[in-house]
Amino acid sequence: MVEAMNYIASSQFVLQQGIVKKDLAFYHYKGPYTIAAERDGGDLRAHEYLSPANFVSENLKIQGKVLDPAGAGYRALVLDQQQFITPEAATRLSKLAATELAIVVVGALPSTTIGSKGQDIVSKSMSILERSKYPNVSFVKSTKDIFQALDKLSIQPRVKTTSQSTSAAKDLYTVWRSTSDSDYLFLYDKGPSATFDVAAEVWENKAPYQLNAWTGQQEAIAVCQRLS
């Protein structure tokens, strides 16, 4: 029992360090809201959802190609067959498209206002965005085309995992957290035992260490390769 508690404590220590980083932000509106698994399976990349209210938050800033650099550090924004949007969010989306942020739209852009006001603003903003032909905005027909579109936009995840078993790769989940001087990578395999190759994007002056959550010991990872 003591060993199990120590393991949980060590794991939670890592999972509460710094700020969690995500690769993708999905704009998502659903009313009434219900809890459901929207996405599951391989190559999801680290992602989370932004509501219309999140979308227009003053804290959600853009710097170069990164959305919310001081927070989650999203590398791309995805709109997956979304129909509804607020006038404020529509205006913000139009402005984001004019930056360097990669945006992938599945199907059509959201075209219906949320509530009884602002349809003219939504229609105008979406019309401008659709006609602009920004190189950083990609329109695809199906959800299965999202990651191909991201590859074409040169958007890569912070962590890549591969395995000889395709099914094993789908069962491995990653959590990435960052502080000013360290990065923490937590790997969770919900499937059977398997061997993985893990590639992480870090600054060149950093060295990888492995934390044994059972003992609390940290050991340098003996086998690793640096790629420029």
The structure tokens listed for 129 are: 């965005």
- Cα gap 15→92, rounded to integer Å: 32
pLDDT of residue 41: 47
Query: Whole-prediction pTM value?
Result: 0.87
Percent of the chain with pLDDT over 70: 93
Q: Where are the domains of the chain?
A: 1-18+157-228, 24-152
Distance CA 20, CA 107 (A): 30
**pLDDT reported for residue 153:** 96
pLDDT: is 140 or 163 the higher one? 140
pLDDT in tens, 99-129: 999 999 999 999 999 999 999 999 999 999 9
Per-residue pLDDT, averaged over 126-149, amounts to: 94
pLDDT score for 34: 56
The per-residue pLDDT for 112 is 96
Residue-wise pLDDT tens digits, 157-207? 999 888 877 677 777 888 999 998 899 999 888 888 888 888 888 888 888
What is the model's pLDDT at position 37?
Answer: 53
pLDDT of residue 2: 85
Whether residue 223 has pLDDT greater than 80: no
8 Å CB contact between 155 and 76: yes
State how far the Cα of 89 lies from the Cα of 70, in Å rounded to an integer. Answer: 21
Residue 14 has pLDDT above 90, yes or no: no
- Kindly report, residue by residue over 22-68, the tens digit of the pLDDT: 999 999 997 755 555 555 545 557 899 999 999 889 888 999 999 99
Q: Which residue has the tokens 């190609």?
A: 65
pLDDT of residue 33: 56
H or E segment and range at residue 128: helix 119-132
